[in-house]
Every structure is written in C-alpha cells, then in structure tokens.
C-alpha cells in the first residue's frame, strides 16, 4: 500500500468513526393521538355541515357535543381513546376545546394530545362576508331615509323602529335581513340593527356586521 493510498484510506475510516448527526424532524404522533386527531376530523365535519346550512354561521359551543343537536352527530360521535368514554370538551388528553369567533363566522377546534395539541379551523368565505355586510349597510341607509321622511311628517322620531311605522300602502318596502331573508329587526345578531331615539331631533342607528357594530348614523338633516 502506497503512502498516498494509506492516507486516503485513513481519512475515509475517520469519517466512518465520526458520530452520525440526524437531521431534525418533527416528533411523530403516537397511534393513540392519531385516533384523537381522527375524532377531531369527525367533529369538524359536523360543525362544517351545520355552518353550510346556516349561512356559514357556525354552531354555539353548547351544540358541539354528543347529543348537542349537530347534524348526524347522533349516528356517530368519537370516543376518547385514553378513557374509552365519549369524547368531551375539556383540556385533558383525548378531549377537545371548541372556540367560536366573533359573530359565529369562524371557529377553532383544538384536539388535546398526550403531548401538545392539533388545531382545526373554519371560517366564512371572505366574499360572502363582504356581500352580506354591504347589503346590511345598504339596509341601514334605507332606514335612515325612512326616519327622515317620518320626521318631516311628524316633527319627531318614532319611539321604536319597525315596519308598523312605515306601512307598505304609503310606498315603503321594509328591508330584509341578508342573513335570514326575513324582515330586518332590532337585535344584536348579524344583520340586525340598533336604534336609540335621542329626543325629537336626534337618534343613533347602527347595524351588526361580521366585524362588529357599524359606525352610527344619525339624522340626514
């Protein structure tokens, strides 16, 4: 063996003797935690099905449980693989936490593993939010115009704002709630309005949007 060949051999041997350095990788999910994750997929399916049937307004927390009223949830509900019992809301392993966003237009479903958690999310499509919010604001402008007409006729504003003050026979068409398709009403739900009379010469009027209450409107003149 020549000196050059020996040196090459020694260098290769040294490399073999160096400790191996493993590439960093995500910690594998255990088989039981995968069962928890699969249970979350089933719950998410029920939540999404409810949302699709309710204009992408997702169910309240009280419904997200076995027997809570979600579509098809009575047919099958996941079990907690750590306890063998029905999977329920909580923070322990094998349970879940369901959080509803503002206006019910988004949600977060957190599945609790033996270590860590996994999150499912859902939300109303942005285009639908924009469409319904625009319609709600247009409804508010119409009500503002009706109130102006009322004040011209009565030198006052109504104590309560509803369709009875603006009969169809006089040319009024009461606006429809873009979320329900029913007559727009006072309330704190999406598409509903708040009206507060401030006396014979003023009032505040606003509508509930997916982002919260709109800016208040007042008398046109």
Instruction: Give the pLDDT score at 110.
Output: 98
Q: Look at residues 124, 142, 175 and tell me which one is the last residue of a structural domain.
A: 124
Q: How confident is the model at residue 12 (pLDDT cuts 50, 70, 90)?
A: very low
Are 45 and 106 in a shared domain? Answer: yes
Are 83 and 131 in a shared domain? Answer: no
Per-residue pLDDT tens for 63-95? 999 999 998 898 899 999 999 999 999 999 999
Are 115 and 132 in a shared domain? Answer: no
Are 40 and 117 in a shared domain? Answer: yes
Are 119 and 132 in a shared domain? Answer: no
pLDDT, average across residues 105-133: 95
Q: Look at residues 124, 151, 186 and tell me which one is the last residue of a structural domain.
A: 124
Instruction: Give the pLDDT score at 103.
Output: 83
Domain assignment present for residue 4? The answer is no
DSSP character string of the chain: --HHHHHHHHHHHHHHHSPP-PPP-PPPPPHHHHHHHHHHHHHHHHHHHHHHHTTTPPPPGGGSSTTS--TTTTT---B-TTTSSBP-BSSSTT-EEEEE-GGGSEEEEEEE-SSSEEEEEEE--HHHHHHHHHHHHHHHHHHHHHHHHHHHHHSS--SS-SGGGS-GGGT--PPBPTTTSSBP-BSSSTT-EEEEE-SSS-EEEEEEETTEEPPPB----
- How many structural domains does the chain have? 2
Per-residue pLDDT tens for 18-58? 333 333 444 578 999 999 999 999 999 999 999 999 989 99
Are 112 and 197 in a shared domain? Answer: no
Domain assignment present for residue 218? The answer is no
Are 100 and 49 in a shared domain? Answer: yes
This model's pTM is above 0.85: no
Q: Look at residues 124, 156, 182 and tell me which one is the last residue of a structural domain.
A: 124
Enclosing domain of residue 120: 31-124
Domain assignment present for residue 148? The answer is yes
Domain assignment present for residue 13? The answer is no
């Amino acid at each position: 063996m020549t000196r050059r060949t020996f040196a090459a051999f020694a260098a290769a041997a040294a490399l073999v003797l160096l400790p191996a350095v493993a590439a960093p990788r995500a910690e594998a999910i255990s088989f039981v935690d995968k069962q928890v994750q699969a249970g979350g997929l089933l719950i998410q399916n029920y939540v999404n099905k409810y949302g699709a049937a309710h204009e992408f307004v997702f169910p309240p927390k009280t419904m997200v449980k076995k027997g809570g009223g979600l579509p098809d949830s009575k047919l099958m509900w996941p079990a907690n693989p750590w306890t063998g019992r029905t999977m329920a809301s909580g923070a322990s392993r094998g349970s879940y936490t369901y959080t509803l966003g503002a206006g019910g237009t988004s949600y977060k479903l957190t599945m609790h593993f033996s270590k860590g958690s996994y999150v499912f999310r859902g939300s109303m499509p942005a285009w639908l939010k924009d469409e319904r919010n625009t319609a709600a604001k247009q409804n508010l402008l119409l009500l503002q115009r009706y109130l102006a007409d009322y004040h011209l006729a009565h030198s006052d504003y109504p104590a309560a704002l509803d369709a009875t003050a603006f009969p169809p026979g006089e040319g009024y068409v009461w606006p429809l709630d873009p979320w329900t398709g029913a007559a727009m009403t006072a309330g704190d739900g999406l598409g509903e309005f708040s009206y507060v009379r401030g006396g014979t010469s003023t009032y505040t009027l606003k509508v509930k949007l997916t982002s919260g209450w709109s800016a208040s409107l007042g008398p046109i003149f």
